[in-house]
């Protein structure tokens, strides 16, 4: 597991033994979500959410959009390809 980004109490994580599509796990104090980085489609998409508040999920999604290129590069550094 590699924490590749932080936003307040939210940690953006890429697991080393994870699967495609390229995505991040966003872990917060009350739950976590998975967000597809949109490496193929061009636009991130929420894959799942368990326990994150709507406000935290919106914040995580906006941050993923803003940091998308850097997060895709982190995925490539860990997994070799998207």
**What pLDDT is stored for residue 81 in this prediction?**
83
Burial class (CB in 10 A: 0-12, 13-18, 19+), 78: middle
Q: What is the pLDDT of residues 22-75, one digit of tens each?
A: 999 999 999 999 999 998 888 999 999 999 999 999 999 999 999 999 999 999
**What pLDDT is stored for residue 1 in this prediction?**
87
**What pLDDT is stored for residue 71 in this prediction?**
97
Query: Across the chain, how many H-helices and E-strands are there?
Result: 2, 5
Domain ranges of the chain: 2-79
**What pLDDT is stored for residue 41 in this prediction?**
85
User: Which positions ≥6 away from 5 have C-beta within 8 Å?
Assistant: 11, 12, 24, 63, 67, 70, 71, 74
């Amino acid at each position: 597991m590699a924490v590749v980004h932080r936003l307040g109490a939210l940690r953006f994580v890429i697991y080393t033994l994870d699967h495609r599509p390229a995505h991040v796990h966003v872990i917060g104090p009350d739950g976590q979500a998975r967000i597809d980085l949109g490496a193929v489609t061009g636009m991130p998409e929420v894959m799942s959410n368990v326990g994150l508040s709507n406000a935290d999920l919106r914040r995580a999604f906006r941050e993923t959009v803003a940091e998308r290129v850097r997060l895709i590069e982190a995925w490539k550094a860990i997994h070799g390809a998207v």
